[in-house]
Amino acid sequence: MDYRDEVFIAVAENLNFSKAAEELFISQPAVTKHIKELESKLNTALFERKGNKVYLTKSGKLVYRSLKQIKQQYRDLEYELGRLNEAFNGSLRIGASSTISQYLIPSVIASFHKRYPKIKLDLFNGNSFEMEQKLLDNEIDLALVENETSNSNIKYMDFLDDEIIAVTGTQSVYAKRKNIKLIDIQEIPLVLREKGSGTLQVIQKTLAKQNIDLEKLNILIHLGSTEAIKNFLCDFDGIALISEKSVKKEMQLKSLCKLNVSELNIHRKLRLASRQGSELKIPGLFIDLLHHHNF
């Protein structure tokens, strides 16, 4: 691809010339120059300004979609050439929800890099909704998500079982109880993940089956990461509902303990997501490794 095309893609995705310049490590005047040259070459305006904001024109949207497809074709070409030379080259962009990116995916990425050292890996993280949006915007090639809802433009594949459990700090007043009832969940102070989190979505869906409205629980605070929740529990007389895979270390160190909640079992499938209709080449190598990884 021409470098002007790369500059255009950066501006189109940021809708901001300054941010695109920072991303590309070039000056803003240089970005403006490349865009003007591309517009002259194509004989069409690609951006329009409305006040202080920049928007893609209809031509700009068409060029963006086409250049993203061309960029993907170049990446596929690198892979095919690498396969001919028995050296897998190219790049892979993976997005993972918070729990997966922190506690599960690092070991998979390490194994992948060891097997395919010439494939450049980039990992993005956020909540499940954000990762699905990045996937649809073609900012990543694969997403690993925790939510249960599905988007018709996304193809899903289960890759691991997970359980969401109730935990509390070992110094909490609830630590000595070990067992609590489902009705207690409605009264005990709770700390939960933020809206958009796959974990929160699964909790809400499970409680709804028990005719319990999430909004009516005694939720003290929503926090944006599992690590923040675990740190919060150290000085909090209450409980949290989080992935069992995220608290193995804390339970071994006895800083957190599990509470058994009668009549409440929150199991879920962690899923691999890809765009519908996409041909998986380099991503296919990662998917194969993921399914055979010993978590």
Residue 193: inside a domain, yes or no?
A: yes
Find the Cα–Cα–Cα–Cα dihedral 196, 200, 204, 210, rounded to 10°: 170
24 burial type by CB count under 10 A (0-12 exposed, 13-18 middle, 19+ buried):
middle
Question: Stretch 69-98: mean pLDDT, rounded?
Answer: 82
Residue 53: inside a domain, yes or no?
A: yes
Q: CA dist 43 to 1, 9, 11, 60, 191, Å?
A: 19, 17, 18, 12, 56
pLDDT at 143: 96
pLDDT digits 0-9 by tens, 277-290? 766 688 888 998 89
What range defines the domain where residue 183 resides?
Answer: 162-268
11/268 Cα distance (integer angstroms)? 39
Residue 34: inside a domain, yes or no?
A: yes
Question: Stretch 48-62: mean pLDDT, rounded?
Answer: 92
Number of domains in the chain: 2
pLDDT digits 0-9 by tens, 104-153? 999 999 999 988 888 999 999 988 899 999 999 889 999 999 888 888 88
Residue 126: inside a domain, yes or no?
A: no
89/116 Cα distance (integer angstroms)? 8
Residue 95: inside a domain, yes or no?
A: no
Q: What is the CATH classification number for the domain harbouring 31?
A: 1.10.10.10
Residue 84: inside a domain, yes or no?
A: no
pLDDT digits 0-9 by tens, 227-264? 999 999 988 999 999 999 999 999 999 999 999 998 88
Backbone dihedral angles phi then psi of residue 267, each to the nearest 5 degrees: -110, 150
Helix or strand holding residue 56 (H, E): strand 53-56
| Paired tokens of 254 | 């006895």
Which of 31, 66, 101 terminates a domain? The answer is: 66
DSSP 109-164: HHHHHHH-TTEEEEEEEE-HHHHHHHHHTTS-SEEEE------TTEEEEEEEEEEE
Residue 74: inside a domain, yes or no?
A: no
Residue 132: inside a domain, yes or no?
A: no
188/79 Cα distance (integer angstroms)? 54
- Nearest C-alpha neighbor of 190 from the set 241, 224, 226: 241
Give the 3-state secondary structure percentages of the chain, helix then strand then coil, rounded to 5: 45, 25, 30
230/232 Cα distance (integer angstroms)? 5
